Structure 1
Amino acid sequence: MAVSTKLIAVVGATGTQGGSVVDTFAVDPLWRIKAITRNTSSAKAQALLSKHPDTNIDLVAADLSDVSSLVKAFEGATAIFGVTNFWTLYGDEKIQARAADEGRSANELCFELELQQGKNIFDAAAQTQGLERLIFSEAPNVSKISDGKYKYVLHFDSKAFAVEYGQQRYPELWARTSLVRLGTYLENFLNQPYLLPEKNEEGVFVFVAPGTKETLLPLVVGGVETGTISKVLVDVPAGKHVIAYRELIKLETFVEAWSNFLGVTATIDYGGIAAKLAQMPISVELKKEILEMFNFLGEFGYIGDDETVIHPKDIGVVSGSVEEWIRERDWCGVVDA
């Protein structure tokens, strides 16, 4: 029987991306896993252990806002997978209340908090003896790529600014770091109101989309591709910057496969996001953030002019098709809504 010789510390182990990394490494007997989460007694944490009962997984408690807890959690790690989550912070009632008390938007407060959490990951990783690879989940630097045109896609910039911090502050750690950038979650077409199609009076399902008919979207299953790509990134030389996706396709390709599978008629309203957001019961600041994100992606895409970004095939990763994913989902809640 193979003996585990390497250890990966996985931040956000009970979330979509971290959970994917745990799932992927759990099937390799050469790796032990520190599954890092805020609450090791939570239902999600216990379910993670139950999912992999015969593997070397240890639940470890740590708080991304507490560097010392991360330093302890990272001890002995050969590799670290780091990820932050703007939306977890945004959904915290205490943070919403704090923002209100301070007379500021929750978006701006969450930007600051997530940026600090990202910095904390780099700070703690830099103190990890024997670390061979840090993999950090990042996002486009919107304000930089757009030359200041779009300044309010805060859930992207918070991650990008953390990467800039790590690169500038820790050159030795940076030489052992690789980045993974998640594209558009396919799951968003199932659960995000601004992407769900709406049936018009003629019975046609209408999707909204960024950009034009020529815009390419990197469609990804975050709970699958994150782990697959991360597993490769620990084995290849550092310095890779991979955009993760299942397929890089036009939205009309997705919609055609979706409508054919369900036997319905569908169309796309390019530029219709503003009108859709106006009808949603969410804050003005959140509407602004989502609209700027759509406008940015439509104009610059997920890559922009960043020549450092490579594609999954460049490191030998080939995933299933988007059409396969569509056929494996239950769309009753979408088409019957």
Structure 2
Amino acid sequence: MTISKDPSHPLIVVVGSTGTQGGSVVNNLDASDKPYRIRGITRDSSKAQATSLSERGVEVVQCNLIVDNADGIRKAFAGATYIFIVTNFWEHLDGARERTEGELMVDCAKEAGVKLLLISGLVSVTNASNGELTRVFHFDAKYDIVQYAKVLGVPYVDVQAAAYMNNITTFMRPAPLGDGTYVVRGIWTPGAKLPYVDTLHDYGLFVRLAIESDEFNRGDGKALSAWSEWVSFEDLCKTVSEVSGKTVAYQQVTEEQARAGMAQSGMPPHAVDDYVDMSKFHEFVWPKVFVETDLSKLARRPHTFKEYCETVDWKTVVP
């Protein structure tokens, strides 16, 4: 459906509209049979992605979502019926900053009188692990943002993303061994299964469900998991091998080896701690606390990992 310009239709403000999660929200709302006006927030409206959104009918607004720009955020959120917000620890590696900027967006959403705030949140790893894993800063910061909305009394839904399928082309990118084969290294055991989502294509499906379903859109703080299937690291690599035509294997490394490799790449110590504790959470805690959203409630079936792999240009990943 064409994105609406009719002022009588709901206005949805999408933070990070040129990014992975926000872009998925725009695309999946655009595919709805319900009419929406969409205002896409981006830090750089001159980007090709922003121009493309504008050509599709999205109102593109340039806004830096930092504490020093509270007035700009208020203006960007003004008149919204729904607001989707997302924060990104990995842009600056500062959990306190992520929390503060997220809480500011919640404040501005409340001032705008939003009908429903869609928060890209996560569980508290500290709480879920009974205090054993306390350094997954980006999970805990997102959890705190959701709790802030709860205390403030903003109507919200917590849309929690599972592991990104596209991690296999980014921080889990297969490393060449020099003989034409590749390896994915991690501290997880080969058979450890994680819930995955094709974030770019499918995360927005769950945000759309939150808006369009009476089960979630009352704003009473329900959590909704964006996922598709559970995949082990061993099977993940087998699928990449099958689709890419290259030999890709999984190799478990020790925590010490992982820490040394990340430190050598320039990752600061607290970010290394985050990654290590996150890996332990993934394997030993997440399977116990992850609540699967009923996928039959979605507008369409989300992609499997194999289907995601079939959308990747593997010549650029494993040349």
**Superposition TM-score, scaled by structure 1 size:** 0.80
Report if aligned partners of 2:88, 2:98 keep a CA contact under 8 Å in 1.
yes
Q: CA deviation at 1:16?
A: 1.2
The AA in structure 2 aligned to 1:208 is R
In structure 2, the CA distance between the partners of 1:293 and 1:23, relative to structure 1 (3 Å rule), is same
Show CA shifts across 1:9-41 (max 9, x none). Answer: 111112111111122223446100111123334
What residue number does 1:93 align with?
A: none
What residue number does 2:314 align with?
A: 331
What residue number does 2:88 align with?
A: 85
Q: CA deviation at 1:273?
A: 5.8
For 1:305-320, list aligned pairs within 5 A. 305=289, 309-313=291-295, 315-316=297-298, 318-320=301-303
Which of 144, 164, 179 matches 2:158? 179
Q: Distance in 2 between matches of 1:321 and 1:133?
A: 29
> Which 10-residue stretch deviates more, 318-327 or 34-43?
34-43
> Which 10-residue stretch deviates more, 231-240 or 73-82?
231-240
Q: CA deviation at 1:160?
A: 1.0
Q: CA deviation at 1:202?
A: 7.5
Show CA shifts across 1:136-165 (max 9, x none). Answer: 001221112122222221122111111111
What residue number does 1:296 align with?
A: 281
What residue number does 2:225 align with?
A: 243
Report if aligned partners of 1:241, 1:310 keep a CA contact under 8 Å in 2.
no
Q: Distance in 1 between matches of 2:35 and 2:236?
A: 38
Q: CA RMSD in A?
A: 2.6
> Which 10-residue stretch deviates more, 158-167 or 243-252?
243-252
What residue number does 2:189 align with?
A: 212
The AA in structure 1 aligned to 2:284 is E
What residue number does 2:269 align with?
A: 284
Q: Distance in 2 between matches of 1:128 and 1:6?
A: 14
Q: Distance in 2 between matches of 1:266 and 1:73?
A: 45
Show CA shifts across 1:228-265 (max 9, x none). Answer: 11111101133431221232222222222222233444
Q: Distance in 1 between matches of 2:177 and 2:110?
A: 54
In structure 2, the CA distance between the partners of 1:81 and 1:187, relative to structure 1 (3 Å rule), is same
Report if aligned partners of 1:219, 1:246 keep a CA contact under 8 Å in 2.
yes
Q: Distance in 2 between matches of 1:74 and 1:209?
A: 40
Q: Distance in 2 between matches of 1:37 and 1:196?
A: 27
The AA in structure 1 aligned to 2:162 is G
Which of 259, 264, 273 matches 2:241? 259
In structure 2, the CA distance between the partners of 1:164 and 1:75, relative to structure 1 (3 Å rule), is same
* Identity percentage of aligned residues: 27
Report if aligned partners of 1:242, 1:311 keep a CA contact under 8 Å in 2.
yes
Structure 1, gaps ≥5 residues long:
91-106
Q: Distance in 2 between matches of 1:79 and 1:19?
A: 16
Q: CA deviation at 1:284?
A: 2.8
What residue number does 2:141 align with?
A: 158
The AA in structure 2 aligned to 1:132 is K
The AA in structure 2 aligned to 1:185 is Y
Q: Distance in 2 between matches of 1:11 and 1:284?
A: 29
Report if aligned partners of 2:42, 2:64 keep a CA contact under 8 Å in 1.
yes
In structure 2, the CA distance between the partners of 1:335 and 1:80, relative to structure 1 (3 Å rule), is same
> Which 10-residue stretch deviates more, 222-231 or 257-266?
257-266
Aligned residues: 303
Q: CA deviation at 1:274?
A: 4.3
Q: CA deviation at 1:178?
A: 0.9
Which of 69, 76, 79 matches 1:76? 79
Structure 2, gaps ≥5 residues long:
none
Q: CA deviation at 1:304?
A: 4.3
Q: CA deviation at 1:277?
A: 4.3
What residue number does 1:142 align with?
A: 125
What residue number does 2:30 align with?
A: 26
What residue number does 1:96 align with?
A: none
Report if aligned partners of 2:43, 2:62 keep a CA contact under 8 Å in 1.
yes
Q: Distance in 1 between matches of 2:62 and 2:313?
A: 34
**Superposition TM-score, scaled by structure 2 size:** 0.84
Q: CA deviation at 1:78?
A: 1.4
> Which 10-residue stretch deviates more, 310-319 or 292-301?
310-319
The AA in structure 1 aligned to 2:23 is G
